[in-house]
């Protein structure tokens, strides 16, 4: 591991000033960053430790009915907060489907948003990777790419974003509060991550020194709590990243879908909001026909980036299953296998 300087600022403004210097990186739990540093993938000159900054480790109910989550709140603490899980069950289910219990106890929600891709070529410093070294090329294009993107990819990069947590946040219109050199601003979480285009190394909308201080969910997100699920297909049920995933939340009135939200994971370099599918579902009667039509719309622009055409059909089926689960209703208790298609939670096998 490369030698680095270590600083522990006492205030948010001091942290931003320290991290704005070239070669700096924020450090909290380090569950992703330390792995990257050990492998020589990330080589910061300075770590800015934000774990002691005040006011970033609480979950706060807002006067308008929304919720504000500090960036240093632990994944496990948020998922097991009973009020939060009751209001935003798909988010809690997504959190509990990620990593291991030990990692969830350490990892922070702010760090979860900014974790790097798990593409093997990104992690292998002997491979060409435009994310790691702009202009180097992308060895994944002609390599082992069965787990790579089917939406929004470019010739420069076909990697996917690994977060489970981000997927329902995008579906529920979450907002990120960011402190930067010019003060505080807000970014819709749907706009936080960038598609690769010609600049795969620019992974987010953040500028040097920008610090995520909180995530906010609007009051309207709670209206979906009765019909909200997150579904994740992975190569093993425990401790694995999504091959594909879907967050589906709907609002039913008089047996009809009045509003639906749908976001996909594991298919692109960012969590993918399926707005065309949402339009189809609005004012539709819940059932297999409407759900299949929505799934077709969600994947209408999908195309293989390599040996991964199967992911398109797999994602369609995950969308139908997630919508079926959501329509059946949020379980009173999260299943023993959160987000798993093998869960025995009520409604798991419903279809028509």
Q: Which domains does the chain have, with CATH numbers?
A: 225-328 (3.30.390.50)
Reduced to 3 states, what is the DSSP secondary structure of residue 57? coil
Residues facing residue 193 across a β-bridge = 204
Q: What is the pLDDT of residues 273-283, one digit of tens each?
A: 999 999 999 99
Q: What is the pLDDT of residues 107-163, one digit of tens each?
A: 999 999 999 999 999 999 999 999 999 999 999 999 999 999 999 999 999 999 999
Q: What is the largest CA-CA distance in the chain?
A: 63
Q: What is the pLDDT of residue 340?
A: 93
Q: How far apart are CA 112 and CA 109, in angstroms?
A: 5
Reduced to 3 states, what is the DSSP secondary structure of residue 121? helix
Q: What is the pLDDT of residues 315-346, one digit of tens each?
A: 999 999 999 999 999 999 888 899 999 887 55
> How would you label 55-66 residue by residue, b for 16+ Cβ within 10 Å and e otherwise?
ebeebeeeeeeb
Reduced to 3 states, what is the DSSP secondary structure of residue 28? coil
Q: In what order do the strands lie in the sheet with 59-61?
A: 59-61, 67-70, 211-217, 175-180, 183-188
CA torsion 330→336→338→343, rounded to 10°? -80
Mean pLDDT value across residues 59-70: 98
Q: How far apart are CA 294 and CA 300, in angstroms?
A: 10
């Amino acid at each position: 591991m490369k030698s680095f300087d270590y600083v522990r600022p006492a205030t948010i403004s001091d942290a931003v000033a320290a991290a704005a210097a070239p070669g700096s990186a924020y450090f909290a739990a380090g569950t992703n960053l330390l792995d990257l540093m050990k492998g020589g993938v990330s080589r910061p000159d300075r770590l800015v430790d934000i774990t002691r900054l005040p006011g970033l480790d609480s979950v706060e109910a807002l006067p308008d009915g929304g919720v504000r989550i500090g960036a240093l709140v632990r994944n496990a603490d948020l998922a097991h907060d009973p009020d939060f899980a009751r209001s935003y069950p798909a988010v809690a289910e997504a959190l509990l489907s990620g990593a291991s219990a030990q990692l969830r106890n350490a990892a922070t929600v702010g760090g979860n948003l900014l974790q790097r891709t798990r593409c093997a070529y990104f992690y292998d410093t002997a491979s060409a990777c435009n994310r790691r070294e702009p202009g180097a090329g992308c060895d994944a294009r002609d390599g082992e790419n069965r787990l790579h993107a089917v939406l929004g990819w470019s010739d420069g990069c076909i990697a996917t974003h690994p977060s489970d947590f981000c997927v329902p946040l995008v579906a529920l219109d979450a907002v990120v509060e960011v402190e930067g050199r010019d003060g505080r601003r807000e970014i819709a979480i749907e706009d936080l991550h960038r598609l690769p285009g010609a600049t795969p190394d620019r992974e987010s909308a953040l500028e040097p020194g920008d610090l995520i201080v909180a995530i906010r969910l609007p009051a309207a997100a709670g209206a979906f709590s009765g019909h909200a699920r997150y579904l994740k297909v992975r190569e093993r049920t425990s401790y694995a990243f999504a091959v594909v995933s879907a967050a589906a939340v709907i609002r039913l009135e008089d047996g009809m879908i009045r509003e639906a939200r749908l976001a996909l994971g594991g298919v692109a370099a960012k969590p993918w909001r399926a707005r065309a599918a949402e339009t189809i579902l609005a004012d539709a009667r819940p059932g297999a026909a409407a759900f299949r039509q929505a799934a077709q719309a969600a994947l209408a622009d999908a195309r293989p980036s390599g040996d991964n055409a199967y992911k398109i059909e797999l994602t369609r089926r995950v969308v139908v299953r997630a919508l079926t689960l959501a329509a059946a209703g949020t379980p009173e208790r999260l299943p023993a296998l959160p987000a798993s298609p093998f869960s025995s939670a009520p409604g798991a096998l419903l279809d028509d």
